[in-house]
């Protein structure tokens, strides 16, 4: 199958993929003596495994792991702010950990932006602009066998959010470490995906090749059980698995050596938009006919089709992007023709979106509210019930999606459909 796909590509593209397969898949899987990590060009000149910096010993491979963690965190979170805790660094890098930080700071790879305050914050750093703007981050082979070093240094964390029940949260995090990945299938799927060749960016910050490098790094982390997680302030659980392409997830991930099956909410964000609108109906004047019109489109899964015809857009991805720009962006102005058309179709709903953001002085308020509603539905209802009903099940989530071993398809479908139907019924007015 892989060769058939390669035969359909240009000679240049096929050769590039074959080279990557040879270097990454064959070499990596057979020898498995190193980790693939990412460093700036400026560090390629380091030749020796051990060297001194400011009279302190530094291990080059330890240094690679530290900067790799920082770069991967930036790529994943799209936020250039990293907390480096002294206690954690000392445990992983040894008593000379300050030399590693000094080296990165002095060589203009990272810079300090917040100082340490006892009981308040750890030292906070960011990647220097020259590193971020440098598109020639290199993948290197790190031969260190120190397991503790490979583990994330700062990105496994939990907010103070109490939106997810504590017992559910603990079990969800525990289950993340029981998910297995077929490295060969995952990497080949990544190589033949369009994301490798097309310019990719959620925020116009990452090139296609940057995204490829990050995705490959994430695949390698899962393979090596380097699991990270973060629960944000709106109840969403972010992990290695939330950032994997859906095709890669379905084709390469397994639980208890079983393939997975995924359950998700059709039109999830529009569905919870309706829930939010209904919750605020007493304060905002929403036309019931208009509400029911939107509800029918969402429940019957025809909303994107109707919007696509109205906007003359065929790509579902682009239709969703335009709709989400209205829901989550600054809609205080309606200059864009598609925004005007949406307003004409749903005038009182558009007014609610605009006025609700304005009243809260925060255009992100709706996005955050929908995420909270989604989190409550998935974690405190669907998954809480699954865990209670099926004692030994392992699973993971990708926001509104629940992935389970295929053995449990029937039982989980019954539970998921029960709550989905309950959600739909709650939208009746």
What does the pLDDT look like over 96-109, one tens digit per residue? 889 999 999 999 99
Same domain for 164 and 121? no
201, part of any domain: no
Among 103, 119, 153, which residue terminates a domain?
153
> Based on C-alpha coordinates, what's the Rg of the chain?
24
Same domain for 39 and 80? yes
Same domain for 163 and 145? no
pLDDT confidence of residue 26: 45
Determine the Cα–Cα distance for residues 67 and 138; give it in Å rounded to an integer.
12
Same domain for 162 and 119? no
pLDDT confidence of residue 320: 92
Same domain for 127 and 251? no
Same domain for 112 and 162? no
218, part of any domain: no
Among 153, 186, 215, which residue terminates a domain?
153
188, part of any domain: no
Same domain for 160 and 149? no
Considering Cα of 259, then 27, then 206, then 9, what sign does the dihedral take? negative
51, part of any domain: yes
299, part of any domain: yes
Q: CA-based diameter of the chain, in Å?
A: 75
Contacts of 352 (CB under 8 A, 6+ apart): 277, 280, 284, 286
Asked whether 229 and 239 are in contact (CB, 8 A), the reply is: yes
Same domain for 140 and 161? no
Same domain for 293 and 319? yes
Same domain for 116 and 243? no
418, part of any domain: yes
Instruction: Single out the residue of 66, 293, 250, 326 nearest to residue 241, CA to CA.
Output: 250
pLDDT confidence of residue 121: 55
pLDDT confidence of residue 303: 95
Residue range(s) defining the domain that contains residue 110: 33-153
Same domain for 87 and 136? yes
Beta pairing class for 229-231 and 157-158? parallel
14, part of any domain: no
Q: What is the pLDDT of residues 393-423, one digit of tens each?
A: 999 999 999 999 999 999 999 999 999 999 9
Tokens of 424: 């739909």
pTM above threshold 0.75:
no
Which residue positions in the chain have pLDDT lower than 50? Answer: 1-14, 26-31, 119, 146-159, 195-206
Domain count of the fold of the chain: 2
Same domain for 82 and 107? yes
């Amino acid at each position: 199958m892989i060769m058939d796909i390669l035969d359909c590509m240009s000679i240049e593209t096929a050769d590039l993929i074959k080279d990557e397969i040879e270097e990454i898949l064959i070499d990596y899987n057979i020898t498995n003596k190193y980790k693939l990590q990412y460093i700036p060009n400026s560090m390629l000149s380091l030749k020796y495994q051990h060297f001194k910096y400011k009279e302190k010993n530094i291990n080059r491979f330890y240094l690679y792991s530290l900067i790799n963690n920082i770069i991967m965190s930036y790529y994943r979170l799209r936020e250039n702010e990293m907390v480096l805790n002294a206690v954690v660094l000392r445990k992983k890098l040894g008593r000379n950990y300050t030399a590693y930080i000094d080296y990165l700071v002095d060589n203009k790879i990272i810079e300090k932006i917040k100082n340490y305050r006892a009981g308040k914050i750890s030292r906070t750093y960011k990647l220097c602009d020259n590193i971020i703007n440098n598109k020639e981050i290199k993948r290197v082979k790190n031969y260190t066998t120190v397991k503790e070093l490979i583990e994330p240094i700062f990105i496994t964390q939990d907010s103070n959010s109490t939106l997810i029940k504590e017992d559910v949260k603990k079990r969800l995090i525990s289950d993340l470490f029981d998910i297995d990945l077929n490295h060969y299938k995952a990497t080949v799927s990544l190589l033949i995906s369009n994301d490798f060749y097309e310019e990719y960016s959620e925020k116009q910050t990452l090139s296609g090749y940057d995204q490829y490098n990050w995705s490959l790094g994430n695949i390698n982390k899962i393979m090596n059980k380097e699991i990270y997680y973060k629960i944000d302030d709106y109840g969403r659980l972010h992990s290695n698995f939330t950032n994997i392409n859906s095709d890669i997830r379905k084709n390469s991930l397994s639980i208890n050596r079983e393939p997975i099956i995924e359950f998700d909410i059709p039109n999830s964000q529009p569905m919870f938009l309706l829930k939010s609108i209904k919750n605020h109906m007493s304060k905002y004047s929403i036309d019931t006919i208009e509400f029911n019109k939107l509800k029918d489109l969402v429940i019957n899964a025809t909303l994107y089709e109707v919007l696509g015809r109205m906007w003359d857009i065929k790509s579902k991805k682009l239709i969703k992007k335009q709709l989400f720009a209205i829901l989550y962006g600054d809609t205080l102005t309606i200059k864009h023709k598609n925004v005007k058309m949406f307003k004409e179709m749903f005038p009182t709903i558009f007014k609610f979106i605009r006025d609700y953001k304005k009243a809260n002085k925060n255009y992100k308020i709706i996005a955050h509210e929908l995420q909270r509603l989604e989190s409550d539905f998935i974690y405190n209802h669907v998954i809480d019930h699954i865990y209670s009903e099926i004692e030994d099940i392992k699973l993971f989530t990708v926001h509104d999606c629940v992935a389970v071993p295929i053995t449990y398809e029937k039982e989980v479908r019954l539970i998921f459909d029960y709550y989905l139907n309950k959600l739909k019924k709650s939208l009746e007015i």
